[in-house]
Amino acid sequence: MPLPILTITPHPAIDETVSLPSLRPGAVNVATQARRNAGGKGINVASCLADWGAPVVALGLLGQDNAAAFEALFARKGIADACQRVPGSTRTNIKIVAADTGDTTDINLPGPAVPAAAWQALLQDVRQRAQPGQWALAAGSLPPGLQTEGYAPLLKLLHERGARIALDTSGAALKQALACGVPLALINPNRHELETLLGRPLPTCADLREAARGLHAQGVETVVVSLGAQGAFMSSPEGAWLAAPLPVKPVSTVGAGDAQVAGLLAARHAGLDWREALRHGVAFATAKLNRLGPDLPPASEINALLQAITLSAIPS
């Protein structure tokens, strides 16, 4: 049996999604729906992987005062719970979804301080679990207290253990990770995050291809860039492709990027090539656009989307 995928989320969150007919700043807005879900990038990826039937272990740092929402999610989906508990409450992220535009406004609240002992305990658990060739995802932002060294200690440990490392973060955390010299099997920024990292606009596929070459030179095996309504770009050792978007009016974009990462990992975990991994990533993300909350639709719906996705090769 293949080794389970490890998802590592140092800064999880309770996602509180509020749906509005339209968002009017400075006015009273009446919600049509509100829901709370255990979330955070790595937790969302684990949730989608479990829906697809891939074995997954969730590691991370949960506030002990409101861990019940995460425990319920893990139990319901058969996700192995290997998260460390820390004093206090896991933070809340508020996501305001406007139905008229489809836009989502994020308000991310601060989380609890992480004791050094909890971070070391998480690293020790990773050291014991990670195996050669195993897929391991480090995902999301970093809580206060862990931002100086960033992901470097975790990535170095995973590399020493021979794991295949996927990284899904942005801003300073991504810049630090790329600078630490650890080879990465996969990163999946969106276009804005990659432009911020490189300090220049990337409006065309040629620009993205050139940016990917620079990242390959830094030790990143495969680069996937989420392009929103324009689909997704991939540059891998097997080639580069643009996946055309499928026509869909999104209910919400919340979690679509995490679903894409889950699709990429699910395909690679199953032994599929990078081209098929891109198809799975886009299919998972598209399926997620039509749903609120942490769940994917049935596999039959995703399989139908897989058949509809077209890829265009990008010349070297």
Active site positions, annotated: 258
Calpha distance 246→308 (Å, rounded): 8
**DSSP-derived pairing of the beta strands 232-236 and 239-243:** antiparallel
**CB-CB neighbours of 128 under 10 Å:** 10
List the structure tokens of 297.
């639709």
The torsion angles phi and psi of 72, rounded to 5 degrees, stand at -65, -40
List the structure tokens of 182.
């650890």
Residue of 71, 96, 13, 53 lying closest to 262 (CA atoms): 53
Q: How far from the centroid of its chain's Cα atoms is residue 311's Cα?
A: 22
Distances in whole angstroms, Cα of residue 85 to Cα of each of 70, 115, 130: 11, 10, 20
Extended strands (E) in 212-309: 220-226, 232-236, 239-243
261: β partners: none
Do residues 130 and 7 touch, judged by C-beta distance below 8 A?
no
Calpha distance 191→224 (Å, rounded): 10
3-state secondary structure at position 165: strand
1: burial class by Cβ within 10 Å (0-12, 13-18, 19+)? exposed
